[in-house]
Structures are given as structure tokens and as C-alpha cells.
Chain A
Amino acid sequence: GAVVSQHPSWVICKSGTSVKIECRSLDFQATTMFWYRQFPKQSLMLMATSNEGSKATYEQGVEKDKFLINHASLTLSTLTVTSAHPEDSSFYICSAREREWKETQYFGPGTRLLVL
């Protein structure tokens, strides 16, 4: 149980285009989902917290107009990187928290984004 999927697993795009990444909780309802960014050999950096049906809360220094987050249902959150640039290339990982178990976060497999 507690499986989180991400799609796509990797994406290559041209500079200036937008990329959408989906995060789904497959076997549980997630009232809260989190989006992280991870650079090579570094820790996870929280970008934003999204609650179903409300606006995402962004961490300090994260541009909300660049990283658009939508949490339209209890099983789906999306991250859209708008007007992507090479410096946005990274490993993006989502996590979801079960409604009944407040602390535990289950992570998706990650999406590797390369912006050319």
C-alpha cells in the first residue's frame, strides 16, 4: 500500500517551454502533497506544500509564478514548470501524506527534467 506515482519519469524540453509533472497517490487519498527538488548528491529541498482544493504554500525563494502547483483532487497534484530554463534542470520529487496518518510521507519515484 501507500504507492505514489509520477509521470513522466524523465523529460527533455527546449528552453522557454512549459513542462507539467503529475503526482498521483494510487491506493490512498492524500489531502496534502509536497513537491521537492533535488540536485545531484544533495538533499531534498521542499518547494511547496499543496492541499487539495486550496492554493499551494510555497517555500521562501521559490517563484510561485514559475512553479505552478494544482491539487485538484485527493489523488492528483501537478507541478508545471513554466518557461523552463537550463537552470531548472533537476530531479523533481513529490510526496503524499495519507489522510489518516498525518506524519508519514510517501514519495514518488521522481521526474528528471533536462532543459536544453
Chain B
Amino acid sequence: QQQVKQSPQSLIVQKGGISIINCAYENTAFDYFPWYQQFPGKGPALLIAIRPDVSEKKEGRFTISFNKSAKQFSLHIMDSQPGDSATYFCAASSTTASKLTFGTGTRLQVTL
């Protein structure tokens, strides 16, 4: 019940296109859903996060869509750029258990 399933495993998008990464969770106690970006050899960096009281959150080119009934959330990267090429991890946690449960990661490559 602690799993967070992430798809796709890898993604190739042309420059200017939209990158979409999906995650699904099982634990209904989860109430915090962050997305992290990780470049090779670096630690993850927080991109954007959402709580289940809203269905969408946008920060610049990054948008999280959240579907509480389906227990799914997704990251949309608009106008994808080569500099966005990285591995993206979704995660989830609950206020009662502070630790994050990570998805398996998506390797995004944005081509010219």
C-alpha cells in the first residue's frame, strides 16, 4: 500500500513539445505529492508539489494535475527544452508519516 507507480520509464520529446509523466498511488493517507528533478550525479531538486485539496497547480512551465478519486497525479512540462532532460521522480507522503515514498523515475530526453 506504500507503492507509488510511475510511468513511463523513459520519454523522448521534441523541443517545444509537452512532456507528461504519470503517477498512481494506493495509500489514501497520502496528502502531499512532490515532483523532483534529478540530473546525473546530483541530488534531486524539488520542482513543484501539490496537496489533494486542489486539482491543479502551475508554476511556470510545470503543472501538476491531481485526480483524488483515481488516486493519480501527473506532471506536465510545457514547451519542453533540452535543459529539461533529466530524471523525474514523483513522490508521496502523509502528515502522519513524514517519509517520502518515491516512484521509480522517468528519464526524459528533449531533442532538438
Contact = CB atoms under 8 A, between A and B. Distances in A.
B44 A93 contact: yes
A112 interface: yes
B46 to A, nearest CB: 7
A43 B99 contact: no
Interface string B27-46: 00000101010000111111
Interface string B13-55: 0000000000000000000101010000111111001000000
B103 A43 contact: yes
Contact of B102 (A44, A49, A97, A104): A44
B7 interface: no
B41 A110 contact: yes
Contact of A43 (B32, B89, B93, B98): B89
A109 interface: yes
A107 interface: yes
B104 interface: yes
Contacts of A106: 46
Q: How large is the interface on B (under 10, 10 to 19, 20 to 34, 35 or more residues)?
A: 20 to 34
Contact of A32 (B34, B44, B98): B98
A109 B99 contact: no
Interface in A36-62: 41-44, 46, 49
Given A43-B89, A93-B43, A110-B42, A105 B100 contact: yes
B104 A43 contact: yes
A46 B92 CA distance: 13
Interface of A: 4, 6, 32, 34, 41-44, 46, 49, 91, 93, 95, 97, 102-110, 112
28 contacts: A32-B98, A34-B99, A34-B100, A41-B105, A42-B104, A42-B105, A43-B89, A43-B102, A43-B103, A44-B44, A44-B89, A44-B102, A46-B99, A95-B43, A97-B98, A102-B98, A103-B34, A103-B93, A104-B34, A104-B46, A104-B49, A105-B34, A106-B46, A107-B43, A107-B45, A107-B46, A109-B43, A110-B42
